[in-house]
């Protein structure tokens, strides 16, 4: 089973003939035959095969508008590789065309534009993922976005993440332990996003074959705390969480536009505390995500992996001891 994208996905790529659109469409066409259309105003009628550097596995018809593309190809999902100044309009155009899932990869969309697009999409009951996200993949079935396909494996663990890079890290660990993924959702790190943690949890809760969820959050906002409250009341399967930005100073943005501690709110400590209170397994290091999920699912862990974890714990204990001894030395000198 899966959520958002699967074998029934019929994908239209908005901004397909641009550099990013062409490259990532070449990767998606290599993954499966679900890309049915592309949209670039003024290039309607073109049968696009990519370019010399990034060739498609099959020809994709280009249309002038999302509406025309959906009518002619019955596309039900859109992925957006449109420049930031026009991306919000592309989201609205896809919604007006009648697609049910919109995945916006574009980074740097003005917040005011996203507020407008978000309201429009939500009023129509459409699933919007992103912006500023890696996309969504159901391994072995459909990849919509920019994530590396080869690290994924079909299976029963869902992944929800604000960070693209840490998503790949978590997935790599799960796959190396023989744990496949049902669907991986990169929700994005901007202040205004279409799918929050709670929304993604609700989708996975309806998928009976998803046996557990990996959640990767980061500092800023209250999305993780809201998810913790929802999980405590509604979700009984294993959840493993990691919060990025544990050493971030207040007032400084860390990577994503939404990753900032302001007014004393949104700290990693607060989020980790809320998650633990909800019964979620919280790891301090991203290196422990995979092995912690394996333990939660009762998956047999190879001896070498156990040794790696124990050596990491020993190193952490040693570091704490060294810090304490240094503090004592300073006090004695004073």
How far is 175 from 188, CA to CA, in rounded Å?
A: 22
Classify residue 204 as exposed, middle or buried by CB count within 10 Å of its CB (0-12, 13-18, 19+). buried
How far is 127 from 196, CA to CA, in rounded Å?
A: 11
End-to-end CA distance of the chain: 63
Helix (H, G, I), strand (E, B) or coil at 9: coil
Per-position b or e across 234-257, b if 16+ CB within 10 A of its CB: ebebbbbbbbbbeebeeeeebbbb
**Which of 24, 127, 152, 256 is flagged as catalytic?**
256
256 carries an active-site annotation: yes
151: its two tokens: 């690290």
User: What single string gives the DSSP state of each residue in 199-234?
Assistant: HHHHHHHT-TT--EEEEEEESSSSHHHHHHHHHHHH
42: its two tokens: 């003024």
User: What are the catalytic residues?
Assistant: 256
């Amino acid at each position: 089973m899966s959520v958002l994208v699967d074998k029934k996905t019929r994908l239209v790529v908005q901004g397909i003939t641009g550099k990013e659109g062409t490259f990532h469409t070449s990767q998606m066409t290599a993954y499966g035959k679900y890309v049915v259309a592309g949209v670039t105003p003024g290039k309607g009628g073109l049968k696009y095969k990519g370019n010399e550097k990034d060739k498609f596995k099959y020809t994709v018809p280009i249309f002038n508008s999302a509406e025309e593309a959906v009518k002619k190809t019955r596309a039900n999902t859109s992925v957006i590789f449109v420049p930031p100044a026009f991306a919000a309009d592309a989201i609205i155009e896809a919604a007006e065309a009648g697609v049910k899932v919109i995945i916006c990869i574009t980074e740097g969309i003005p917040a005011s534009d996203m507020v407008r697009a978000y309201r429009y999409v939500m009023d129509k009951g459409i699933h919007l993922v992103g912006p500023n996200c890696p996309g969504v993949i159901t391994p072995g079935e459909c990849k919509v976005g920019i994530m590396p396909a080869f690290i994924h494996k079909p299976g029963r663990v869902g992944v929800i993440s604000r960070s693209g890079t840490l998503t790949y890290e978590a997935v790599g660990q799960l796959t190396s332990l023989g744990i496949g993924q049902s669907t991986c959702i990169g929700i994005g790190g901007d202040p205004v996003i279409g799918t929050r943690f709670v929304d993604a949890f609700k989708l996975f809760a309806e998928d009976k074959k998803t046996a557990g969820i990996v959640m990767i959050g980061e500092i800023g906002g209250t999305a993780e705390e809201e998810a913790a409250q929802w999980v405590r009341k509604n979700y009984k399967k294993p959840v493993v969480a990691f919060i990025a930005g544990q050493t971030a100073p207040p007032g400084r943005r860390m990577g994503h536009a939404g990753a900032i501690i302001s007014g004393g709110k949104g700290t990693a400590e607060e989020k980790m505390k809320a998650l633990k209170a909800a019964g979620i397994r919280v790891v301090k290091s991203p290196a422990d995500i995979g092995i912690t999920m394996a333990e939660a699912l009762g998956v047999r862990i190879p001896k070498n992996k156990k040794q790696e974890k124990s050596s990491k714990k020993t190193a952490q204990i040693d570091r704490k001891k060294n810090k304490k001894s240094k503090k004592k030395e300073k006090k004695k000198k004073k």
